[in-house]
Amino acid sequence: MENKKKIKIGLIGLGTVGSGVYKTLKNFDNVEVTKIAVRNLNKPRNIENLDNSIVTDKPYEVVNDPDIDIVAELIGGIEPAFDLIKTAIKNGKHIVTANKELLAKHGEELFNFAEKYNKVVLYEAAIAGGIPLIMPIKTILAGNKINKIEAILNGTTNYILTKMDVQGASYEDVLKEAQELGYAEADPTGDVEGFDAAYKITTLATITFRKRVKLENVYREGITKIRAQDMQAANDLGYKIKLIASANIDEQGRADVRVHPMLVSKKSTLAHIDYVTNAVSLEGHPVGSVTLSGPGAGEFPTASSVVGDILAIANELGTSDYILPMMRCQHNTAAIPVSISDTVNKYYISINAKNNKGVIGKIGTICANNGISLASIVQRGVSDDNTADITVITEHVLEKDMQKAIEEIEQDEFINKVNSLIRVQI
């Protein structure tokens, strides 16, 4: 068996992750990278002894190469990635991808296409970098009915929120610092407005619940409105503020999937996931509750997942006509989407009001008229301009009732501004 032929790998992309994958694959005798597509041939690479003869700036050379067995797509975005993957599948290649956006927007089409050609698409690296997640859910946890996911899936926003908490600094200041350190992009929209986390929870919920979740049904809210004052108030109340991607499914197959900031109890594991670490908590039967945490991005953590997928395929090649059946897409029914306005939540509200007698009573009355009970209401000092900051935590309330109450509070003559409305973990 010593002379078993090496499995040939083609890489599309040699950025941070691609470089990590290339370096890591060097440690394995049964695989070899025979072609790499890059955008810019002249860009200096932090790779020793890279054989430039295998590098091309024509990605179709990789997917059309008849000798390549597995293609790893590590460039992200929809096009040209999607067409390159489809071309590779048509040409008989299995796929490993880290492309969360593509999976969230075209996952169904992609998996159906792969199945038609009897090819496997693995994507461990697309959800939470180096955290082993997809394979455990599809194999070890397959005997569970998992009905709840709560996760921190974006390192940039978690880093910003952690720094705001530790330094008592404003969002703007911390974002600037994160950009200078390379933790946040020059255009941070994809991270700070929750798009990245929304892509990830869409796919994660789909495979965990075994029902298709559509991206357009995922409620999304970013962290740009979180203030240093909210951080302080949350701490005083026994919470940390995190950007949480969550998904719940009920017995009828109704799925409530969303990404938004949340006050998370300091007693919960996710409250202590800091800086660029990611974590995923799953609840189900019979396992109960399990949390997986680790590095959600970076050269080697993400490479760990990509290489794991490549080796999983490489080890199966030639063993059967239908490899890795457990890892394939095994569902085609859609979850019934639940609109955010029909969900029940607890809320933290920060209100700036004129320092008048009866203003707290007024807030209480408006809430009561909308069927909202208050768990606590605290006035925090009076400023020089004779205004007061009032912090409210509600009991369980229907989102649409909460939004109606907020509208009424904002119209009240004694209220200057509702500064924040943040949901509270229940």
Please classify residue 361 by burial: count the beta carbons closer than 10 Å to its beta carbon, then call 0-12 exposed, 13-18 middle and 19+ buried: exposed
- Rounded Cα distance between 248 and 279, Å, is 17
The sign of the CA dihedral 204, 81, 21, 313 is positive
Could you tell me if 377 and 392 are in contact, meaning their C-beta atoms sit under 8 angstroms apart?
yes
Catalytic residue of the set 8, 35, 200, 240 = 200
Residue 6: active-site member: no
Rounded to whole angstroms, the Cα distance separating 233 from 221 reads: 20
d(CA 332, CA 206): 10
Query: Residue 74: which residues within 8 A CB-CB, separation 6 or more?
Result: 11, 12, 13, 14, 15, 17, 18, 21, 97, 98, 306
Write out the catalytic residue numbers: 200
